[in-house]
Chains A and B, each alone.
Chain A
């Protein structure tokens, strides 16, 4: 199970951190993603982190502004979002990859956390 938290309303230029609590599986054995979906729009991949946290990939749209991290001792994934823009408004999903390192496919999704960037 994956449960996101930390969403809410933030002003443009502000910061927010999302967290994802994992349970009922060996969190440290899986790569993890964040995927977002703007209201009424399609899926957009945001970032991927290897099982051990040593390698990370980012979408160009968030590179330099967002940072993904994980705490395997606490079974938790984080997404630090800075310099937020209106176009970052979306439901953010925490997603497990079936692979530990090289991305394969998304086999477990959280329910999502809504982030709204608005003044």
Chain B
């Protein structure tokens, strides 16, 4: 059972915005930086966001992250068919001395 909770799925029409939440505790999100990963079926994940809200080079600014204490969100604006994938949050948990991932959220277009 994951210590980080995400909604199983979110959907929106092309061009619209989706928001994925990731809820944790003071042991993880509340005291460490969160990263977000995108995964397409049959492929390895890739990092979209690190340090809660920073984008690596090459990641479109349609992807943005925010921090709200013990929860974070990933926004995808201008949703495109190519964004349909699974999304995971990840963060170091100081009490477990372990990296923890969210349960994953499948993004779909309507």
A contacts, CB < 8 Å to B: 33, 42-45, 48, 57-60, 93, 98, 102-107, 109-112
Contacts and interface: CB of A to CB of B under 8 A. Distances in A.
Contacts of B101: 42-45
A109 B35 CA distance: 14
Nearest to B96: A60
A59 B100 CA distance: 9
A111 B45 CA distance: 9
Given A45-B101, A93-B44, 10 more contacts: A42-B2, A42-B86, A43-B45, A60-B96, A93-B45, A105-B90, A106-B45, A107-B47, A109-B44, A109-B46
Contact of B47 (A58, A59, A106): A106
B27 interface: no
Interface residues of B, number: 26
A102 B92 CA distance: 9
Contacts of B103: 42
B61 interface: no
Contacts of A93: 44-45
B50 A105 contact: yes
B104 A105 contact: no
Interface in B61-110: 86, 88, 90, 92, 96-104
B98 A60 contact: yes
